[in-house]
Structure 1
Amino acid sequence: MIKNLQKLYFATINSSKFNKMEAKHRFFDIAANLADHTFKGHYYEKKVHDEDVDEVIQRAASIGCDRLLIVGGYIEDSIESYKICQKSNKFYCTVGVHPCRANEVEANGRTQEDYFKELDELISKHKDKCVAVGECGLDYDRFDYASKETQLKHFEPHFNLAEKYNLPMYLHNRNTGNDFFDIVRRNRKRFPTGVVHSFTGTEEELKQILELDLYVGINGCSLRDEASLEIVKKIPLDKIQIETDAPYCEIRNTHPGRKFVKTVFEQKKKEKFVKGFMVKGRNEPCQIIQVLEVLAGVLGKDEKELSEICYKNTLKMFNLKDE
């Protein structure tokens, strides 16, 4: 019964149909990981379908998502992100080391000093597009990727880059107790502003983020259960940014906010890839409209008004003009 109602209620569309529609909102996805191998058709080192980055970008534009932050999580990733940024004057990138890639900093005989010198050179070279230092931070749910000690060692040097180039920080925090906040707090005067993206923390963590005068990035993972929805209600409107964290963190059918979703895209399994359709299970920037719909429903806000607030918050944080 519920599934039948959903079929009647949801607008199931593919990109060719949607391109004929006029976008109602403006979006800036601050977490579009388009350098991820899945957008080249690779899954677990196996080529499954053709690269479809351009189609993904087109779908995003069709719903009004004309600005993207292509996030860099390590050197090669940052280089590829910059290349994708060349597709539009409204695409931007970051340079940094994700905590789950911290083992790479001193791999293959390279020193921390060597690695961060390369990051420094990338920021200098890509300063026309690089708008933040990161993604960097701590993730204590992922010690299988990098130990606590390794993550701690390679997080703090990012603040040297932020201070040198006067750039915002693009931050990651997962289940780190006070470690993350202690480090950010003692370096807070060294960078102008920043965002803790993909927020999934507690009310106490939210309080500390706001005390540090930072922004909060909201995606599907931020809206995963009823407790999360209650915490999201406590974020001041002038501190909210929205994102997809594509290809991760989609809003799932089991999420309590799913009832607010009105816009869905027809999907095909990756093994049955068809151009013009989303890949099932792979999040995309176009689905930022779903984040807006859920957030507006939870907060009881008008969607257009809320999308403009988030859009302008993001432009302000990254010091970009509203063109």
Structure 2
Amino acid sequence: MFDIGVNLTSSQFAKDRDDVVARAFDAGVNGLLITGTNLRESQQAQKLARQYSSCWSTAGVHPHDSSQWQAATEEAIIELAAQPEVVAIGECGLDFNRNFSTPEEQERAFVAQLRIAADLNMPVFMHCRDAHERFMTLLEPWLDKLPGAVLHCFTGTREEMQACVARGIYIGITGWVCDERRGLELRELLPLIPAEKLLIETDAPYLLPRDLTPKPSSRRNEPAHLPHILQRIAHWRGEDAAWLAATTDANVKTLFGIAF
């Protein structure tokens, strides 16, 4: 099973990053996609992906950091995307929940990254929170120019899920779905996702599954917990976990064009 969303550049992993990666593979994880959320972290993610086997990375600027987007940023992302470890543009999108960057800055950076992905024929790794309508408006003209797109860490509504599925967008599901309160609606939406469009992720070190036992004393999530998330998703979808692991692995290979 492949974890499509690991924030391995996080300072929370600074002291034991090697052990975190080793534990993931010992637990049955067979690959990691290390997310880049700004230029510096995208560069670090690419170096980590080169350092560890069966790891790849994304290159992009998260909506929170969109105020940093400049012509030089765009040039650096394009240069970074030429590295073999980099298999998607992002994490990019819109987040109107906290607006660490203004909506205008977010939209400018999102569209610029969609253009880069289209020009380079690379998939996009996307983020959307409290911005679905505007997000879809900006994304729609690019979908037929992109080889693929994934909306990672989906936490939206039934209508938003249906809109994404109708447009062939891959859906990333995290341990959010394991939350007995916040994850209940998402749990009910799991059957709406076509198996061939489902991807699984931890978003570590964030979103530790609340039903995990025993819970780590640090409360830090890590990719070794992906098997737990997979098992819960398979249960709620009424599918065999081994079959779902193989299916989501095949989806990773199709979307990102990688072999593992």
Superposition TM-score, scaled by structure 2 size: 0.94
Match of 2:86 in 1: 130
Match of 2:96 among 137, 140, 163: 140
- Quick one: structure 1 residues 174 and 222, their matched pair in 2 at CA, closer, same or farther if it must change by over 3 Å? farther
Q: Is structure 2 residue 127 aligned with structure 1 residue 178?
A: no
Which secondary structure state, in structure 1, belongs to the residue aligned with residue 48 of structure 2? Answer: helix
Question: Identity over aligned residues, as a percent?
Answer: 31
From 229, 242, 256, give the equivalent of 1:304.
242
Structure 1: tracts of 5 or more residues without a match: 1-26, 41-50, 106-111, 253-257, 269-279
Alignment of 1:80 with 2:44, yes or no, is: yes
Deviations, residues 184-236 of structure 1 (Å, cap 9, x unaligned): 10111221111100000111111111122110000012443322211112111
By how many angstroms is 1:70 displaced?
Answer: 0.6
Deviates more, 1:290-299 or 1:196-205: 290-299
- How far apart are residue 117 of structure 1 and its match? 1.1
Q: CA deviation at 1:99?
A: 0.4
181 and 160 in structure 1: CA distance in 2 versus 1, 3 angstrom threshold: same
For 2:249, give the aligned amino acid.
Y
Given that 2:6 and 2:203 are in contact with CA atoms closer than 8 Å, whether structure 1 keeps it comes out as yes
Are 1:234 and 2:189 counterparts?
Answer: no
| Structure-2 residue corresponding to 1:151 | 106
Other-structure match for 1:10: none
Question: Matches of 2:216 and 2:168 in 1, distance apart?
Answer: 39
The question of 1:104 aligning with 2:68 is answered: yes
* Aligned-partner Cα distance in 2 for 1:236–1:188: 18
Letter in 1 for 2:12: T
Which residue of the partner structure matches residue 258 of structure 2?
320
Could you list the runs of 4 or more consecutive aligned residues of structure 1 that deviate by over 6 angstroms after TM superposition? none
| Structure 2 letter corresponding to 1:249 | L
The 3-state SS of whatever aligns with 2:219 is coil
| Paired amino acid for 2:6 | A
Task: Report the CA distance between 1:52 and its aligned residue.
Answer: 0.4
Please name the residue that 1:255 is paired with: none
Gaps of 5+ in 2: none
Q: Which of 174, 196, 212 pairs up with 2:151?
A: 196
Task: Tell me what 2:225 maps to.
Answer: 287
In 2, are the aligned partners of 1:198 and 1:222 still within 8 Å (CA)? no
Aligned amino acid, residue 113 of structure 1: A
Alignment of 1:44-123 (within 5 A): 51-105=15-69, 112-123=70-81
In the TM superposition, what is the alpha-carbon distance from 1:266 to its structure 2 partner? 6.4
Report how far residue 164 of structure 1 moved: 2.0
CA contact (8 A) 2:177 2:184 kept: no
Count of residue pairs brought into register by the alignment: 257
* Alignment RMSD (CA, Å): 1.4
